Amino acid sequence: RKEVEQDPGPFNVPEGATVAFNCTYSNSASQSFFWYRQDCRKEPKLLMSVYSSGNEDGRFTAQLNRASQYISLLIRDSKLSDSATYLCVVRTGGYQKVTFGIGTKLQVIP
Amino acid sequence: GAGVSQSPSNKVTEKGKDVELRCDPISGHTALYWYRQSLGQGLEFLIYFQGNSAPDKSGLPSDRFSAERTGGSVSTLTIQRTQQEDSAVYLCASSFAGGRPDGYTFGSGTRLTVV
């Protein structure tokens, strides 16, 4: 089983739709969780950290479910500019134990 | 500089040749990371530097890969006797502190194609 698993998609959604992605992780000792965004042929950039109690940043909501070992990202009122690949990042232990998922591709359609 | 700079941005090389990839981190960032991203794959950790030291090189895929960092700044990733499976985007990131993905700044990468 992979340490971090994501559905690669693509998820094709119309503008204004709500879309959610999940990411599962295998190590119950994992400590920190993040979502990164990567535009086509660009470098990854931090979208948001994921806190135990869940957190929101504008149209984006991130949640952590430790019991089931997954994190989620919800995007409300999707914009064309949200089209990108969303990478799940999990930290377990020290610097070398930062694992990136393969990413979920989102395409928002006019 | 304002961001992490990588060079070259693109490199096409013949199988068997050696290549050097360069990373200029953000000034003051003591931690530096190399990752590799192949098509359809996640970012694969290669090596981490804290200052000029590399506490963990276990991510380097073979002894053809080596990396160094000098002056706590510029890092070079060298691939000897390149193979087609080395084709990927090589990404460098830096941060103030190690192991904090919320503090990573990535460069735009070097796209390596081995023909």
- With contacts defined as CB-CB under 8 Å, which chain B residues touch A25? none
pLDDT at B1 over 70: no
Question: pLDDT band at A97, cuts 50/70/90?
Answer: confident
Cα separation of B30 and B98, whole Å?
8
pLDDT at A93: 76
The whole-number average pLDDT for the span A88-104 is 85
> Residue A11: which pLDDT band, with cuts at 50, 70 and 90?
very high
Helix (H, G, I), strand (E, B) or coil at B32: strand
Instruction: Determine which of A15-19, A69-73, B1-5 has the lowest per-residue pLDDT on average.
Output: B1-5
Strands (DSSP E) found in chain A: 4-6, 11-14, 19-25, 32-38, 44-50, 55-57, 60-65, 70-75, 84-91, 98-100, 104-109
- Residue B97 has what pLDDT? 80
Q: Which residues of A60-74 are buried (b: 16+ CB within 10 A; e: fewer)?
A: bbbbbeeeeebbbbe
Q: Which chain A residues are Cβ-neighbours of B110 within 8 angstroms?
A: none
- What tokens does B72 get? 């706590």
Under an 8 A CB cutoff, do A95 and B106 touch? no
A2: nearest CA in chain B? B42
Q: Does the CB of A58 have a partner CB in chain B at under 8 Å?
A: no
Give the pLDDT mean for B46-50. 92
Least confident residue range of A11-25, A42-56, B8-22, B49-63? B49-63
Which amino acid, residue B93? A
The residue-averaged pLDDT of B2-17 equals 96
pLDDT of residue B85: 95
Q: Tell me the residues of B at the A interface, defined by beta carbons under 8 Å apart.
A: 31, 33, 35, 40-43, 45, 48, 50, 55-56, 58-59, 91, 98-99, 101-102, 104, 106-109
Nearest to A96 among B40, B48, B106 (CB): B48
**Could you tell me the pLDDT band of residue B37, with boundaries at 50, 70 and 90?**
very high
pLDDT digits (tens, 9 = 90+) for B82-97: 999 999 999 999 999 8
Residues B78/B80/B82/B83 CA torsion (nearest 10 deg) = -110
Instruction: Give the nearest partner residue to B102 out of A43, A46, A97, using CB atoms.
Output: A46
Contacts of B42 in chain A (CB under 8 A): 4, 87, 99-103
Strand partners, B90: B36, B110
- The pLDDT score that the predictor gives to residue B40 is 75
Res B46: pLDDT: 93
Dmax (CA) of chain B: 37
Average pLDDT over every residue of A17-37:
95
pLDDT, tens digit (0-9, with 9 covering 90-100), for A59-95:
999 999 999 999 999 999 999 999 999 999 999 876 6
Q: Which of A4, A34, A103 sits opposite B101 (nearest CB)?
A: A34
**Distance (Å, whole) CA A30 – CA A33:** 8
Which helix H or strand E contains B45, and what residues bound it? strand B43-50
Confidence class of residue B29 from pLDDT cuts 50, 70 and 90? very high
pLDDT of residue B72: 85
